[in-house]
Amino acid sequence: MSSSISKKTYKSILIYVVWIILSLITFFPIYWMFLISVRTRVELFDAPKLYQTTFYAMNYIRPLFIDIYGKYLYNSLIVATGNTVLVLICSVLATYALSRYRVKGDQNIFFWTITNRMAPPAAFMFPLFLLFSRVIVVGESRIFDTHIGLILVYCLFNLPFAIWLLKGIVDGIPTVIDDAARVDGASTLQIIWKLIVPLAAPGIAITALLSWIFAWNEYLFAATLTSVRARTITTGLTEFVTVVGTNWGEMAAIAIVCILPALIFLFLVQKYIVAGLTFGAVRE
Amino acid sequence: MNSSRTAWALLAPTLIILAFVGLLPFFYVLYVSFFDWNIFSKTGVMSWAGAENFRRLVFDADFLAALKRGIGFTCIAVSIEMVLGLTLAQLLMIRFKGRSIFRALHALPLTVAPIAVGATWRLMTIPGMGPVSYFLQQLGIDYNIGRSASQAFFTTVLMDIWHWTPFVTLTFLAGLSALPRAPFESAMVDGANRWQIFRHISLPMLRPVILTALFLRIMDALRIVDEVWMLTGGGPGTSTRYVGIHLWRIVFPKTDYGYGSAMSVLLLYFTIVLCWLLITAITQSRKGAGT
């Protein structure tokens, strides 16, 4: 009896050891980046130390408040938030239609929207750049280097993702509820707004959070389709790497700012985020 | 009749936006790929080139090398991620105190912006300053991803494993948790050991999930740009210039629009074929599993 208990104890200790080591491997690169972000230039050239007792805030203050990175941060906020709102409105309406109505070719529509998520951005960048900067020109105004341009382009991957996630949730809401409301004379939009949205609220919230993170994290389109006015924080990050040398401390500081929102979200609602991050790859 | 009109009205905003950012660019790039259009050429106007751009593409050694490099990177990184992810998912199936905390920590890399992933790995591997290169140097190993092609290649593979193994783990974990309990219990009664249960029950039942994770990872690894660009800039030389980086950094700035478009079309074609294979394989394995 006692030997079986000790075997069990061994096993659970082993599990903890494995997961603590794995967590250290996962966390160390980010911890290291934080260390770099609070070090002065001089400190960086010492042998690498794994701890830090001083905090050099200029790495954060100079790029954000003196240089242009505050503006980039603002652009990222506008683009990510604008995209999330647009994606939510469109995806809730579309999901309701795909879930409740038999439309001719609805399977094809579903398949096509999902294929959009798979599209390599590097291949879409060519035509989008040409369209935004040279073809769709109204007078002097172009979509190139505008917030609205990025907001629309990010729908390419966020909209399919949102529909994919929400479909399962809306499918799970019994249609009896819609029918009852319809008998009472509610219009389709009223049903969606007053019944479906509240019932699917947790799922919608997670979809919103993840869409926001994906839009915030995006780099390739932002780098190609903006130049100055609508440049986002992720794009700004690469601007630290220059031929005349890189200010590693400031780059690390901006990278920390870049990953901070996602970190906060992850620890606030980790259970749901973790489930959503698998892109609903497993569904009943 | 009326109800299908409502459905289309509800779908309209989504379809219009996706047509604008998805279909329109697709047809436009297809159109441009048949033209010779270089804004630095004498006229700077489009002239019909037929399949000339595609002919050039097939003989473009740089492009083919980048494609091959990308496929090599994908094969190595994704196969390690699959094995590692499956193992870790099994480990996470065991109940223990604090499991959800470790799971959240494990998911951490997935939420980090790819460009910031590249930045962290770069900070870790700068010669002399990064801890990885510093400690390897103390051990007498000369590690410099700015100079050694093979070290740079394997560092990008390691970075991808760090970044994406959690995705595979979490997908498998969701798949494992959704499996019915009965077959496992009866196998246990019959005295099957852990490996036999895994090999003959978990693995076959997980087939659709494994395929889904595998294909999603293949697609993502093939189109990788941000992280690698931030870590190595595609170098040293061309050793980590995968196909996305090649298109974005080498072909795009040349403003040879027709040729770049042809390359985009070819990549999109590969994507569609892969997508189709994915859907077919998954639906078939679902049918095979009898669910």
What is the pLDDT, as a whole number, of residue A23? 92
Q: Which of A108, A153, A154, A282 should one mutate to test binding to chain B, selecting the residue with the greatest count of B CBs within 10 A? A: A282
The verdict on a CB contact (< 8 Å) between A155 and B91 is no
Instruction: For the domain covering A60-277, report its CATH number.
Output: 1.10.3720.10
Q: What angle do CA B90, B96, B101 make, to 5 degrees?
A: 90
Highest mean pLDDT: which range of A170-174, B7-11, B161-165: B161-165
B233: left (phi over 0), alpha (psi -120 to 50) or beta: left
pLDDT average, residue stretch B63-88: 93
Q: Which has the higher per-residue pLDDT, B290 or A36?
A: A36
Provide the shortest C-alpha distance from residue A169 to chain B (in Å): 16
Chain B partners within 8 Å of A263 (Cβ): 108, 111
Domain definitions of chain A by residue range: 1-56, 60-277
DSSP string, A120-148: -HHHHHHHHHHIIIIISEETTEESTT-HH
pTM for this prediction: 0.87
Burial of B151 by CB count in 10 Å (0-12 exposed, 13-18 middle, 19+ buried)?
buried
Structure tokens at A192: 């969606």
**CA separation, residue A76 to residues A157, A230, A259 (Å):** 17, 8, 12
- Provide the mean pLDDT of chain A: 84
Q: What is the ipTM for the molecules in this complex? A: 0.85
pLDDT for the residue B228? 92
Q: At residue B83, does pLDDT exceed 90?
A: yes
Domains of chain B and any CATH numbers: 62-289 (1.10.3720.10)
Residues 55-94 of B with CB under 8 A from A: 88, 91, 94
Mean pLDDT confidence for A81-98: 94
**Optimal mutation site among B115, B117, B228, B259, interface A, most CBs of chain A within 10 A:** B115
Report yes or no: B257 at the A interface, CB cutoff 8 Å.
Answer: yes
B11, B84, B94, B111: which to substitute to probe chain A, counting the most A Cβ within 10 Å?
B111
Asked if B108 lies within 8 A of A131 by C-beta distance, the reply is no
Which A residues in the span 98-157 are in contact with B, Cβ-Cβ below 8 Å?
Answer: 98, 100-104, 109, 111-116, 118-131, 135, 152-153, 155-156
Per-state percent for chain A, helix, strand, coil, to nearest 5 = 75, 0, 25
- Checking if the pLDDT of B152 tops 80, the result is yes
CA-CA-CA-CA torsion sign (A139, A145, A147, A148): positive
Mean of the pLDDT values across residues A177-189? 88
The more confidently predicted of residues A187 and B288 is: A187
Q: What is the mean pLDDT of residues B21-47?
A: 80
Query: Quick check: B26 and A23 CB within 8 A?
Result: no
Q: Is A5 on the interface with B (CB under 8 A)?
A: no
Answer yes or no: is pLDDT of A186 > 90. Answer: no
The pLDDT, as a whole number, for residue A284 is 38
Encoded tokens for A193: 């707004």
Is the pLDDT at B268 greater than 60? The verdict is yes
Tell me the average pLDDT across B49-68.
86
Determine the average pLDDT of the residues in B257-271: 86
Of A241, A249, A34, A22, give the one whose Cα is nearest residue B231.
A241
Q: What is the CA radius of gyration of chain A?
A: 24
> For A53-83, what is each residue's pLDDT tens digit?
888 888 898 888 888 888 999 999 999 999 9
Of the candidates A48, A24, A73, A51, the residue with the CA atom closest to the CA atom of residue A253: A73
The pLDDT of residue B291: 44
